[in-house]
Each structure stands twice: as structure tokens, then as C-alpha cells.
Structure 1
Amino acid sequence: MANHFYSKRDLTFHLYEVLNAEQLTRLPYFQDHNRESFEMVLDAAGQIAESMLKPLLTEMDRKEPQLVDGKIRVHSGIRPIIRRFGDDGWINAPFSYEEGGQQFPATIMNAATFIFGAANYSSSVFPFLTTGAANLLRSFGSPELIETFTPNMYAGRWQGTMALTEPDAGSSLSDITTTAEATDQPGVYKIRGQKIYISAGDHDACENIVHLMLAKIKSGPLGAKGISLFAVPQKRPENGHLLDNDVLTAGVYHKMGYKGAPIAHLMVGSNDGCIGYLVGEPHKGLSYMFQMMNEARIGVGMNAVSIGTAAYYASLEYARERPQGRPIAEKDPSRPQVPIIRHADVKRMLLFQKAVLEGSLGLLLQCSYYADLVHAAEGDEKEKAALLLDLLTPIAKSYPSEMGCLTTSASVQILGGAGYTTDFPVEQFYREARIHPIHEGTTGIHGLDLLGRKVIMHNGKAVTLLLAEIQTDMAAAQVSPEGEALSNQLGAALVVLDKVTRHLLSLAPSDTEAFLADATLYLELFGHVVIAWQWLRQTTVARQAIANVHDDDQNFYQGKLMAARYFYEYELVKIHALSRRLISADRVTIEMQNEWF
């Protein structure tokens, strides 16, 4: 087990040297905070992660949840973890003082979730699923609903979930069949249907589960326009008691990774006794739910980076300690073996992880910063941040998720045969990484979103704003020959991206299928360019700082410069192959017929 599962030094670098997160305190909503309060939060996160979450990492993987007598039983350590998050105010920390929150920026909260996820991803999801569900209630629910449900959710006594997926409706939510039938009480409906893959959808670590559930009101509009949002508790509160609400657990899914958090199959209203409470207005459920999903997508990217980071430090520790072989030019077998970190190919795999993960962390914190501006700024600053966040969200979710599968694979490879055993944690990280390209929208969905919606929204205004941001950073980088070289490479990459984008958009009016057929590859290309931008930002800071520091900080900044070089030399160059494919007139995926497989 690695001694280090994340780098506090690197997190500090991103927050204060690159992002200058303290600037958020100029906004009235965050004005009571300062760097000291931010540091206190991150220190507290580190302590909880080290003392409560990390010790259960392997055990939660080995002893996965089981359905016993209609109830999912989870690891006994989960209950105290959830209550600790409730008692310490983590669950509602971003919310206003009036609601009992602490008005903390998303930038700092997401940095904390990075620490939690690196320690033990499965255990970290329970409290923050509740945060997302409670945020929907507080944003759109009536005062009565907020008062009924959120205090116990904030306290960690009641779990919150997001209940969307059904057996025949995954990404295609317009096809859900769960129904809601009005009763004689305003806003109260009878719910019938089933939901699958519901994270923390049932477990014995809380007293109650509150599902934020999508359903269609009978006689409502067809398709997505007919979807409404309901609060559907597992046990409904009435007159100070919790009564059975006909939400039955039909099964628990056994997964390849991320095993400590259960994913449930729920039968709702099988005995005609399930009551749901309308959240907001009828037929607006999908738009409400997308608020939570967009927030969650940044969280998914952060979780992918956190798992990848834990795997990186585990493989780095192993590479420094494991002797194997001799330098490639050494012919004398009597010479002692060297640690494998001395071998160029092992350094390549370590650099690959470092470059992808630290670049991705920069992007995710940048998006979190934009989210804070959307929430608390005004005027042009707010509008600009909203457009940039919308454009970058599919990349911030998908790039770390897809690449995290590759970086954790590199961790296993560094350990060789040992990495394939349960004696070391990297095989678990490899399995756990695979969920992130799937949940909160598959990579294919996000490719369609980026190319089919985000690039063209407001006549391309978001792309124009992003290019302006990148060009500002390119100009700042040209204070050194090395920075100028990277800036020129990034400029050439922007030309490639622009050429591909224009070509694909030219197809849109006449051939929609060809326009979007390779949207996932376009997402990948865009992702490489955006992460290269993040590395340019990091290297500009590192070059300015490195002349004035010594010892460990000298090594830290030098590592940044080398990781940036690696990314530009080994990763950014991949856009040329992607560009060639995206501009090609070959339509093999469209022309392939079902019968030919």
C-alpha cells in the first residue's frame, strides 16, 4: 500500500499558484473566507481521509454489499463515516448560512473530494450523493419539502440519491416508463415503476433513503417534455414516524470495482402504496435533474483523477523500491541491479500518469472556479464563466475518465506480475477506474453534447471565449524560450482543432449522421488540446518560481516542466492522427451493416 495517495504540494500549487483561488473571496458570497479557512478545510479532509477512509479501502473491496432479507448490508464502517460527514458539516458546506451551510466555494469542496476519492472512492460517494439530491430539493422544492427532508439529509441520517435509469431507458431518458398519478392532495402522487443502477439506492448505514426520481405524470406530454421530478422516500415521514413507502429492493448489482458502494435495483409502487412528492413544476423534471447531473459530471472527472492519482503514487513508490535489471548499456552481470525507476520505459509510464492526471486536475479545478463565478459573480463575468463551464464540462468529465483507465493500466504494468495480484492496490484502482466513462453520461453522449450542442451554442461564443483565454496564456508563456516553444506547439494544435471543427460543421446541414458519427473522437482531440493549455499555464508558473527555490521545491517545479514536455511530445501529437480520421470522407461506421458483423 502506498504511503502517499495524493500530493498536498501539487494541490496547493494548482489552487494558489496557478488558479489563485483566493480571488474568490472578493465575491460577497465567499467574502468570509480566506486562504487560512481554505487550508483548514483541506487539512480536515486529509485527516478524515487518512484516519477513516483509507484504512477501509481494501476491506470494502473484498467485503462487498449483500442483499439480505430485502435490505442491502454495507460495510459497518460506512455508518460512522456518513455521520462524521454530517456532524462536520460537509454535506451542506457549499450552501448558504441561512440553510446551515458554510458558503464554501466549489473549488475548495472539489479539492476536498479529490482527497477523499484518492483515499477510498467507494466510501466517499455516500455523503456527496446526498449533497446533490439535497441541492435539487433546496433549488426547486417547496419550503415544506425542504423542511421535511433536508435537515436529516444534511445530518447524515438520511441518504439522498438520483433515480433516473430504468431497464429500457438509460441515456434515453425520454423513454422512461415510471408513472405518477395525482391524488386528492396537491403535489402528492402515487408512483409506479422500477429503477436500476441506483447508487446508494438502499443500504443499512442510514435510517432512510430519499430518491430524487424522474417519472411521467399520467396524461402528460409525450417524451422528455412529460418528465417530472419527485422526492420519493424509502420511508415516508408522517406524524413523527417513518412509514413503509412501498420502495422495494429487488437486487444489488455486483460490480468489477467501486464495490463498497451499492448499486440497487428498485421496485417502486408494486403494492400500490408508493407516495412521491412533486419537486417544482410538473413536466420540468429533466431540466431540474440536469442541474444535478452537470455538477456531478465535474465530480465524476474529479473522482477519475483521484483514483488515477492513488494508483500513480502506488506505482511510483514501487518503482523506486523494486530492483530489477541494470542500465541498458551495462554489460557486467556482477553489477548490482537498479531500481526500475532508472529504466526509460518505466519513466515513460510514470510520466504518462503524471502528465494526464496533473493536467486533468488543473482543468477540473479551473471548471470548479468557473462554477463559483457562475454562482456568485454578476454581469459579464458570470456570463463568460457560464459559457466556458458549459463548453468544458463534457471534456472535464470524459477526458480524465477515459484516460484514467489507461493511467491505472500503466500503474499495473509498472508492477508487472505483482500488479495483477491482490497483494498490491493497483489492480483495485484499475477496476475502479472503469466506471467513470460510463456513469453521468457515457463518453459517446458527451461527444455528441460537445460537438452537437456546446461548440455551436450562441453562435460559437463559448469557443471564442476559450480561444481568447488560451491565447492570453500563450502570450504569458513566451517569457522564456521553452515557454515560447510550447506556446507555438499549442498554437499549431489550435489550427488543427479549428480546421477539424470547420470541416465537421460544414457537414451538419446536409449530413447529420456523418457530422456526429465520430463525435467521440472529436471530444478526444479537443481534450488533448485543452489539457495542453492547462500544462502551458502550469509551466509558466513553474518557470517563474524555479529560480527562487531550493531542494524539494526545485524538484517539484522541475517535475512540472518535464511532465509538460512529455505531454506535448507524447500526447498532444496524437491530434494529427485524430484530425486525419475526422476529416476523412470514409464512412465505414455508417456504411457497416448489422448483418456483416
Structure 2
Amino acid sequence: MATTYFSKRNLHFLLHEVFKAEELTQYEYFSAHDRETFNLVLDSATYIADTLMHPYLKEVDKNQPELKDGQVTVHPKVKEFMQAMGDAGLIGAGFSFEHGGQQLPEMISSCVGFILMAANNGMMYTGLSSGAAHLITSFGSPELSEFYVPNMLSGKWQGTMALTEPQAGSSLSDVTTSATPLTDGESVPGSYKIKGQKVFISAGDHDAVDNVVHLMLARIDGAPKGTKGISLFVVPKYRPDGNNGFVDNDVQSTGVYHKMGQKGVPAMHLTMGSNDNTIGYIVGEPHQGLPYMFQMMNEARIGVGMTAAAIATAAYHAAVQYARERPQSRRLNEKNLLDAPQTPIINHPDVRRMLLFQKAVTEGSLSVLIEAARLYDISKVAEGDDKDNAFLLLDLLMPVAKTYPSEMGVQSVSQSLQTFGGYGFTEDFPVEQLYRDIRITPIYEGTTGIQAQDLLGRKMTMKGGKAPQLLFAEMGKTIAEASMFDDLKPYAEQLNGEMKRIQEVFSALLPHAMKGDTERYLADATLFLELFGIVVVAWQWLKQAIVAKHALLTQNPQGDDLTFYEGKLHTMKFFFHYEVPKTLGLAVRLKDPEVLTIVSEKELAL
């Protein structure tokens, strides 16, 4: 098993050299921090990852959660991990001081998640607690925050997002879980009787914590139909009994799904109200559940993207190590030298292509995600146009930040497995597990098709197209900066051409939307997202190349630093020469008037 599962050098390069994370400390909210505190947090996460997570990667996968007699058991290391994360203050690191957090930027908090998920994504528990607790502190009453959040951030209690239902899937407008107001004098204000079912609830029940707190969508009796009638509730596994104790809240674990990957995290089927005794406590105002969820969705989607980038990164590092150590055959130009020793497979051009593809995808994905996290932070603490523009840019980039690492991460891990050859298909090495694990990420927090419809159907046109205008302006700055270096200028010009290609494709599609033919407009939205994502990642690679080139010219780096910066330039070139040309075929299809996927009166058999 590879001992290296992420590059600390690359993480610091992106955080400090490319995105200058410490510049956020100029804002009052983040002023308690500096570069040193940021690095200490990352070191703390790395220690937990090294000691409590990575050594148990295979063990957690092989000993998946089991449901017996209504109780879910998980690997015993999960409890130690939860406690260590709570003790280190890492579950609530991004929370305000007021709510027991460290007021760390999302740039740093999301990188903590990256480190942990690269070590062992089968222990994906604390991010769920953080997200659920954040919903309570953002929209819930002070009483809810005071009672639930401290235990969630300490690792004693688990938090979940309980959205999906058997009959609804991703269509939240079809949620049927009901909430009936309790009006008797003894009930806590805002109490409701909850009845219904939820499925695929990650970490929805387990024995590593004392309580599980579900942030659950339900429909209050008589609420409007569709998404406008959905409310948000805190529904704990054990509720307070009013005498400093707890009683069972009639949230039953009906089943645990046995999954293709991420086997260390129980995905639960939950049933509420079988005995008419499930009580939930409303978060915020009635019928605002979905807006509340969507206000938190950017953070959650960054988390999914980080998980995908982390898994792909761990697989890439395993593949690099194997390729350096595995001798096989001779160089193609030395085939006749049978007495010559075999060469490590890293010297074969096709293996180098596979490794460069993985490096380009994983480091490009991480760059996009840190860019998104930076925009999230600025949209939170800045004022005026800076705040508004950061939020618009973040909104536009979010489908890419979630989808590119997920979809391309699947391909990247596939190439990692291919690098191992037959050994990659065995349990002797970690990549077969990582290949299974990463496949869920294009589905989490909105499938690729949903992300694509969000990008083309809403983000490209909102506020008169202001978001893509802002993005192209940012790209224009990078292009201008890169054009100052002779060997980067061709890539700057290529990126400029790709920006124009996006605009041409969008102009060809927009008339369908203007005519009200939404189905035709969005028929190939996923291909548009793929095209858009390639160009956004190309922009990120050019940003990295500028920093690397500047360092080579001004710092006279030696040894590992020289190799690192030269590697950045080489990988940028690989991305532009191997990945960017894929936009040509995508653009041809997107502008093609032939329609082949829309249901017609004369339906062809599939």
C-alpha cells in the first residue's frame, strides 16, 4: 500500500502561492489567523489521518456496518476518529467563535476534508455533522443551537442530511414525509409529529456516537404542493425528555444499504413515526426548508468535490509509487537489447501519459475547489460589489467544482488501476477499493445531469448573464498575465479561443430557450457542462503555470523545488495538449441541429 496519499507540497503551493490564503486575514472575521495557524490546522488533520484513518483503509472497507436488532455497528476506529476530530476542534473549525468554532476560512476547512478523505473516505462522518450543525446555527433558534450543536461539534453526536425518499429520489418537490403541529401545553414550541421514510441517509445510525441528529425535510399538514411547501426539522434519534434525560424518538433503522464503495459509512433506510411517537423541531420558518438547504448547498458540493479529488489523488500517488518500482520490459527503442535490465514502467510513454492524466485531473480539480472555497469565503465576509460578484462567480463555478472532480476523478482512478495492470484489479493494492469508492461522487448532492441543468438552465442566464461575464473577465486577467511570458503565451491564446468557443456554443443553444423549448435547450446540458469544465480547469492550470514560471525566474529553486515547479509547467502543457482538444468534439455535437434523445410521438425502442 502506498504510504503517500496526498502531496503536502502541492496543497501549500495552491493555498499560499496561487491563492494566497493569508490575504483573507485582512477581513475582521478571519483576523485571528495567519499562515502559521492555517498550516497548524492542516498538520493536525494530517496527524489524525496518518494515525487513525489511513492505516485502517482496507479494514474499514472489509468490515462494513451491520444492522442487528435495530442497532448499527461500525468499525471501532470510527469512535476514536470522531473523538479526535472533536478534541482537535476540526469538526466545527469553520464555525464562528460564538458557536464554538475557530472561524477558519472554508479554504482551510475544505482542505482539512481533502486530507481526511485522501486518507480514508470510508470514515466520512464529521463533514456530515458539520453541515447539519451549520444549518442549525444559520437558521435555527438559539435554543436548538445551544442544545444540539456543541455535542455535534464535539464528535459525541452525529449529524445527517435526511432529504431523499423512496418515491422521490432527487425530486424534492415530491417529498411526502409529514409534519403535524403539536399544540398541547407541554410541547416545546415548534414541535411537530413526523411520519415518513428516508433513504440513503449517510451515517444515519451507528454506535460510535451517543445520538444521531437528522436535519430532515418534511411537509407540514396543509402546506402548498411542490418545493414551496417543504419545511426543515431537527429530528434526533433520542429526544430530550424534559428531565435532563432522553427517550427514544421512534426513528427506526429499517435497513442498511450494502454499497459498491464507501462501505465504512452506513447508508440508512429510516422510518419515522411507526409508533406515532417521532417528534421534530422546526428550523426557521415553515415552508422555507428548501431555500435553507440550498443556501448551504455550495458548501456541501465543495465537500463532495473535495472527496472525489481526494480519492483520485490517493489513487494517483499509489500509481506513481508502483510505476517507479515495477520493472517490465525495455524502452521501445531498446527492444533488441535483451541482455539489458528491465526498466521501471514509469519510463514507458503510455504509462507516463496515464500518470500525467491523473496528475492533471487531480491537481486541476483541487485548484478549482480551492478557487470555489475562496469565493465562498469572500462572499461571506466582503461587502458591496465584492461580495455580490464573489457569490455570482461561486454560483456559476459550483456545478464544475462538484462535477469535474467527480466525473473526471472516476476516469483518473480508472487510469490508476490501469497503471497497475492485473494487480490493480486485486485487493493487494488500494486502487480497486478507491475505484469503487469514487463512483458515488457524481451522484452525491445532485447528479451530473442535475448539475448540468443548473449550469445551463439557470447559472448562465441569471442576472442577464452577469456570472459568465465575470468569469470571462477573470480568465482575461489570467490570459493577460500569462501572455507576458513567451512560453506561456501560446496557451494564453488557446484559452482565449476556448472562451470564445463557449460563447459560440451558448449562442447556438440560447434561441431554443428564448422560444420556450426548454427540453431542446437542455437536452445536451451535460455535454455543455463537460465543455465548460474543461475550459475552467484549463484556466486553473494556466494560473498555476504563471506562479511556477515566476518562481523559476525569480527564486532560483533547486532540488525538489525545481522539480516541482518544472512539473507544474509540464502538466499544464499536457492538459492543454491532451485534454483541451476534447472541446472540439463537444462543440460540434452541441451545435448539431440533429435531435436524437428527445421523446417523440414515434418512439424508437431502446
Please indicate the TM-score interval, normalised by the length of the shorter structure.
Answer: over 0.9
Q: Equivalences for 1:162-561 in 2 at 5 Å? A: 162-184=161-183, 185=187, 186-238=189-241, 239-330=243-334, 331-510=336-515, 511-547=517-553, 548-561=556-569
Q: Equivalences for 1:43-192 in 2 at 5 Å? A: 43-123=43-123, 125-184=124-183, 185=187, 186-192=189-195
C-alpha deviation, 1:305, in angstroms: 0.3
Moved more, 306-315 or 369-378: 369-378
Distance 1:585 1:594 in 2: 19
SS of 1:103 mapped into structure 2: coil
Letter in 2 for 1:377: A
Distance 1:268 1:490 in 2: 53
SS of 1:250 mapped into structure 2: strand
SS of 1:596 mapped into structure 2: coil
C-alpha deviation, 1:158, in angstroms: 0.8
Distance 1:422 1:480 in 2: 47
Large movers: runs of 4+ above 6 Å:
none
Equivalent in the alignment of 1:25: 25
C-alpha deviation, 1:590, in angstroms: 1.0
C-alpha deviation, 1:591, in angstroms: 4.6
Distance 1:91 1:132 in 2: 9
Letter in 1 for 2:145: I
SS of 2:415 mapped into structure 1: helix
The alignment's TM-score, normalised by the length of structure 2, stands at 0.97
- 2:257–2:268 Cα contact (<8 Å) kept: yes
SS of 1:281 mapped into structure 2: coil
- Deviation string 1:461-495 (CA, Å, 9 cap, x unpaired) is 11111000000010000122221010011011111
- Deviation string 1:504-556 (CA, Å, 9 cap, x unpaired) is 11211222111000000000000000000000000011111123111111110
The alignment's TM-score, normalised by the length of structure 1, stands at 0.99
C-alpha deviation, 1:595, in angstroms: 5.4
C-alpha deviation, 1:294, in angstroms: 2.1
Distance 2:233 2:522 in 1: 34
SS of 2:333 mapped into structure 1: coil
SS of 2:209 mapped into structure 1: coil
- 2:100–2:150 Cα contact (<8 Å) kept: no
Query: 1:588 aligned to 2:593?
Result: no
Matched length: 596
Cα gap change, 1:500 to 1:595, in 2 (>3 Å)? closer
- 1:234–1:244 Cα contact (<8 Å) kept: yes
C-alpha deviation, 1:293, in angstroms: 2.3
Letter in 1 for 2:480: A
SS of 2:287 mapped into structure 1: coil
Distance 1:486 1:258 in 2: 39
C-alpha deviation, 1:337, in angstroms: 0.5
User: Unpaired runs of 5+ in structure 2?
Assistant: none
- 1:133–1:292 Cα contact (<8 Å) kept: no
SS of 2:547 mapped into structure 1: helix
SS of 1:360 mapped into structure 2: helix
- 1:79–1:205 Cα contact (<8 Å) kept: yes
Distance 2:429 2:72 in 1: 28
- Deviation string 1:415-474 (CA, Å, 9 cap, x unpaired) is 000000000001111111100000100000000000000000110111111000000010
- Deviation string 1:56-102 (CA, Å, 9 cap, x unpaired) is 11100111111111111100110111011111111111111122211
SS of 2:2 mapped into structure 1: coil
- 1:91–1:130 Cα contact (<8 Å) kept: yes
- 2:53–2:119 Cα contact (<8 Å) kept: yes
SS of 2:332 mapped into structure 1: coil
Identity of aligned residues (%): 54
Distance 2:193 2:161 in 1: 18
